[in-house]
Amino acid sequence: MKIENLLKQRTLDSTINVKNSIVMAPMTTFSANPDGTVSVAELSYYKARSKGVGIVITAATNVQKSGKGFPGQFAAYNNSFLPSLKKLSQTIKGEGALAILQIFHGGRMAIPAEIPGGQTISASAIAAEREGAMTPREMTEAEIQDTINAFGETTKLAIAAGFDGVEIHGANTYLLQQFFSPHSNRRDDMWGGNLEKRMNFPLAVIAQVKKVIKEDGIKNFIVGYRFSPEELENPGITLDDTLSFIDVLSNQGLSYLHSSISDFWQSSIRNASSTNPIICSMLDKIHDRVPFIGVGSIHTPEDAIKALNSGATFISLGRELIMEPDWVSKVQTGDFSKIRTTLNKTQRKSLDIPEPLWNTIINTPGWFPMSK
């Protein structure tokens, strides 16, 4: 194995040095304070996992009150959250990693009980295909513009808080994906209809984020975009839809693209007759125009080397860094056999896992591999 490939320095935007190829994936912790500020437990959790990796992408933070997607989610929709965000960026950067704030709106997947008025909003008044899902209210033109501007305002907060960049969360069934999806977007105006019009909202968010950064005058500020390649709904996002979108995204001057899939080498979840890994199609479409972060069930150094050899620029570790905060240092010292790839029920405190996250892990069979 060429471990040096994992540990070799990379660059973003030609000038930003990243010490290695390993990224901490964005994962919600359910552990913020009741007022939406980052908790002490979360700071400890991030500190433990920031010391070896090149980049840390935080859990998603909501850009508007109406966008809260998780219980215990930390927020970033006005200046009152600036001190909290500063603590988070300083904790991550203090361990030598670049700090990226993931920004999002939950749309129809927001929590009705925790948003103003209890009514979710989305591109169209179409409920998600899941039990008990609320039918959202279709967003007005004014609400669309306000939400675009909110992504910009949260980017200003990220800059003021000392983050190295933001990741625009366009994946995992949340609002930006809802505008791109033919299931959740049935509009017939400039924000929906054909494939190209369904791209307009996420592209407008990207443009607003980049505008804010330019107006601020900050240099070398990272802007990434995360996407889900397919969805199971009918009609839903197909891989062909996403390849068309990737083609456009690759020309937006972004710092990177980041997929959201459960297995790096998975084939299509919509087309059972296709057995080719979709990662190959995505990388072919990107064609080296923008760095790519790959993710999905990567646990061992062997897994990571194989994924890098696909052509990905960076490798994102999610569950693995929860189980093994010292993953990078153990790779550096060659202690591969000591890398944890399972959890047991005695490890919460030693691994600095906040209790709400731990309880979710324990109560979600099959999410993490557990050992006795």
Q: Which two tokens stand for residue 163?
A: 């983050």
Residues catalogued as catalytic: 174
CA angle 59, 62, 64 (to 5 degrees): 175
Q: How far apart are CA 52 and CA 264, in angstroms?
A: 22
- Residues 88, 161: contact at Cβ < 8 Å? yes
Give the N- to C-terminal CA distance of the chain in Å, as an integer: 31
